[in-house]
Amino acid sequence: MQTFNRSIHPGWLIIAPLLVLVVTLYLGPIMNILWLSFTDPEPGLGNYAKLGESDALLRIVWTTVRICIVTTLFSVGLGYSIAYAMVHCDQRQKNYMLTLLLVSFWISILVRTFSWLMLLGRKGLVNGTLENIGLIAEPIAFMRNELGVLIGMIHYMIPYAVLPLLVSMQSIDTRIMDASRNLGASGSQSFLRIYLPLTLPGLVASTLLVFILSLGFYVTPAVLGGGKVLMVAEYISVQLLVTLKWGTAAMLAALMLFGVLAMLWLMSKFMKLSTVFGGTTR
Amino acid sequence: MAEPLEIGSLQIRNVSKIFGTFKAVSDVSLNVQKGEFLTLLGPSGSGKTTLLMMLAGFLDVSEGDIALDGASIAGVPAEKRNFGMVFQGYALFPHMNVRDNIGYALSVRNRAVAEIEACVDEMLDLVQLQQFADRKPGQLSGGQQQRVALARALCFAPPVLLLDEPLGALDKKLRVEVQEQLKVIHRRIGTTFIYVTHDQEEALSMSDRIVIMRDGAIEQVGTPKELYERPKNKFTASFLGKSNFIHHNDKVYALRPEKIDLIVGVDHQDARMNGTVSSITYFGSMQRVIVDTKEGQKIEIDIDVWRNANEVKLGDAVDLLWADEAAVELQMG
């Protein structure tokens, strides 16, 4: 008992209550879901076998992954240029941009989603205006399809993409870019050989963050997809609340969890995860 | 890079830099000889770094012109100037190893791999970092990083090398060592060096010529000896070494502390001033004595301890003597 006591760092005592809380309230339910996915309605791999049997289920998973990939590409791409602009303009403009970014960050997802409907819906501002000036005869279908889901999700995700990139870009010594120019590198050479590699950890962090958050999107596809775009999160909710197939729901949830863990594992093969999440390069 | 360079003289003509209403550099004219080691020396805010940034092409010239061997380069962007530069804090590329850092300039010029390798090896040899070629900058000491920065800036054989306080981050002992290495390298490669510092000892020990700057303008230009022996005004006299200022017949003279003789006892026939010793500070190779004169002035005198045994004591009445040529007449202001 004595040796056991000695080997425990006193710091653990301070976080012990928190640890208990996390284990019981977070890990517990997750374990329960994993358990359910193997046992409900009957023990075995039956729920996972459905993936192979049901086209519909596979299509939902594929739709989700496809939408998440497109969302991630656009959010991170746009986020990269926004972060770049913020780092390289003067302090006052930077404050304005940061305020605007954070305001959109803080507004409820429900409000932002319905705003898109008002703006781009069949009778929305854009279609109405275009019809009134005679540019189009029929309203353009921006909403109630996959395009609508993508617009809503990319818009929601941009602040998440910008923030890790901003941190990573801000930490670059401007003299390093001067040095690259001084040594004769053109703008694109400096970007590809110095700036991009140095912001790569931020880029990876932002990609991971956006992709993982996108996987769980529920409100936006439900509202902007108009029932035509079914993603995993919405399907899980239907299984839980309507059809009461908890086993299938648990299986899909477990699948997403494994997917995320697999991505983190894959990423850790290429770089230290601690650098991505703000640790030092060394 | 081995063949001696035929180019590398700089002509700076009436150059000014204006930020809004602030004139950071005003009307500076200067000719830099090919192969010269020229130091821009001044306190912070004197415009020396701004001038260097204009030479590097990172800042535009507001007025005037800069020419390399007679041809204007004022409109040439930084990446086309082919000037080497050692940055304050070195600005090494943290994600590349030493070899790739040094070879970067040739690599972005799309030179053959063999040529780059050869040049990098030569540079590693020059700065004696062969065994560190595969390390990242973060794994090197400050002095080693400084040498990588130097090698990186010299690898493409630039006609001019600009150095922005390159030794500022090193501790004093290492600084003296690197100063020596820099001088050796400068002699070996014959590139024009333009060196910015606020450290007067660095300037005195390394330069062929020193440009003393103040408030954006040049105060005085000359060899270290010229500037030390014949300062033009109070600013130069006190910025480069220490000076006593003696007022006599409405004129001001600068008098270096080591050029004054001190004799204990009063009424020596050649005495220029007399007073009492109010402070003695021992520095090992010499001691600094402060004498309060009858006129109410404090005069600093450096005494060679070895040749003048400890005969001076606090409170002694002393005579001060110096040769006529020791006192340098200054311009007013």
User: Which of the residue ranges A237-246, B25-34, B42-51, B204-213 would you say has the lowest mean pLDDT?
Assistant: A237-246
CATH number (domain holding residue B256): 2.40.50.140
- B61 shares a domain with B19: yes
Task: Report pLDDT for B97.
Answer: 95
Select from B78, B91, B156 the Cβ nearest to the Cβ of A175.
B91
Contacts of residue B92 in chain A, CB cutoff 8 Å?
176, 179
Contacts of residue A179 in chain B, CB cutoff 8 Å?
85, 87, 91-93, 152
The answer to whether B95 contacts A281, with C-beta atoms less than 8 Å apart, is yes
Q: Are strands B261-264 and B273-282 parallel, antiparallel or unpaired?
A: unpaired
Beta-bridge partners for B37: B193
DSSP string, chain A: -HHHHHTS-THHHHHHHHHHHHIIIIIHHHHHHHHHHHHSSSSSSHHHHHHHH-HHHHHHHHHHHHHHHHHHHHHHHHHHHHHHHHHHS-HHHHHHHHHHHHHHHHS-HHHHHHHHHHHHSTTSHHHHHHHHTTS-SS----SSSHHHHHHHHHHHHHHHHHHHHHHHHHTS-HHHHHHHHHTT--HHHHIIIIIHHHHHHHHHHHHHHHHHHHHT--HHHHHHSTTS---HHHHHHHHHHTS--HHHHHHHHHHHHHHHHHHHHHHHHHS-HHHHTT----
CATH number (domain holding residue B14): 3.40.50.300
Residue B303 counted as domain residue = yes
Residue B90 counted as domain residue = yes
Residue B147 counted as domain residue = yes
Residue B276 counted as domain residue = yes
User: Could you give the 3-state DSSP secondary structure of residue B224?
Assistant: helix
- B209 shares a domain with B316: no
The answer to whether B84 contacts A182, with C-beta atoms less than 8 Å apart, is yes
Domain count, chain B: 2
Task: Report pLDDT for B4.
Answer: 44
Of B203, B234, B265, which residue is a domain's last? B234
- B296 shares a domain with B257: yes
C-alpha angle A119-A121-A124 in degrees, rounded to nearest 5: 50
- B183 shares a domain with B59: yes
Task: Report pLDDT for B281.
Answer: 92
Q: How far is B92 from chain A (nearest CA, A)?
A: 6
- B298 shares a domain with B230: no
Instruction: Please compute the mean of the pLDDT values over residues B79-97 and round it to a whole number.
Output: 94
The answer to whether B108 contacts A185, with C-beta atoms less than 8 Å apart, is yes
Interface with A, mutate which of B79, B81, B83 (most A CBs under 10 A):
B79
Q: How far is B64 from chain A (nearest CA, A)?
A: 22
For A192, nearest residue in chain B (alpha carbons):
B108
- B210 shares a domain with B171: yes
Is the predicted pLDDT of residue A4 greater than 70, yes or no? no
Q: How far is B88 from chain A (nearest CA, A)?
A: 8
d(CA B278, CA B291): 6
Residue B241 counted as domain residue = no
- B106 shares a domain with B69: yes
Q: How far is A87 from chain B (nearest CA, A)?
A: 18
Dump pLDDT digits (tens) for A90-105.
999 999 999 999 998 8
Task: Report pLDDT for B311.
Answer: 75
- B81 shares a domain with B45: yes
The answer to whether B93 contacts A173, with C-beta atoms less than 8 Å apart, is no
- B274 shares a domain with B134: no
- B255 shares a domain with B228: no
Is the predicted pLDDT of residue B192 greater than 50, yes or no? yes
Select from A180, A181, A282 the Cβ nearest to the Cβ of B138.
A282
d(CA B30, CA B64): 12
The answer to whether B105 contacts A194, with C-beta atoms less than 8 Å apart, is no
The answer to whether A179 contacts B85, with C-beta atoms less than 8 Å apart, is yes
Is any Cβ of chain A less than 8 angstroms from the Cβ of B156?
yes
The answer to whether B108 contacts A173, with C-beta atoms less than 8 Å apart, is no
- B168 shares a domain with B263: no
Contacts of residue B57 in chain A, CB cutoff 8 Å?
182
For A184, nearest residue in chain B (alpha carbons):
B79
Averaged pLDDT of chain A: 88
Select from B89, B104, B139 the Cβ nearest to the Cβ of A173.
B89
Residue B286 counted as domain residue = yes
- Closest C-alpha to A267, from A211, A204, A215: A204
Task: Report pLDDT for B66.
Answer: 96
Residue B6: band (very low, low, confident or very high) from pLDDT cuts 50, 70, 90: low
Contacts of residue A281 in chain B, CB cutoff 8 Å?
94-95, 138
Is any Cβ of chain A less than 8 angstroms from the Cβ of B88?
yes
Interface with A, mutate which of B95, B102, B156 (most A CBs under 10 A):
B95
The answer to whether B88 contacts A173, with C-beta atoms less than 8 Å apart, is no
User: Could you give the 3-state DSSP secondary structure of residue B164?
Assistant: strand
Of B234, B269, B294, which residue is a domain's last? B234
- B102 shares a domain with B20: yes
Note whether B94 and A195 are within 8 A (CB).
no
Residue B88 counted as domain residue = yes
Residue B4 counted as domain residue = no
Q: Could you give the ipTM of this predicted complex?
A: 0.84
As a whole-number percent, the residues of chain B with pLDDT over 70 amount to: 97
The answer to whether B156 contacts A179, with C-beta atoms less than 8 Å apart, is no
Q: How far is A172 from chain B (nearest CA, A)?
A: 10
Dump pLDDT digits (tens) for B239-285.
998 999 998 888 899 999 999 988 887 677 888 888 999 999 988 88
Residue range of the domain that includes B310: 249-330
Of B206, B234, B262, which residue is a domain's last? B234
Dump pLDDT digits (tens) for A157-215.
999 999 999 999 999 999 999 999 999 999 999 999 999 999 998 999 899 999 999 99
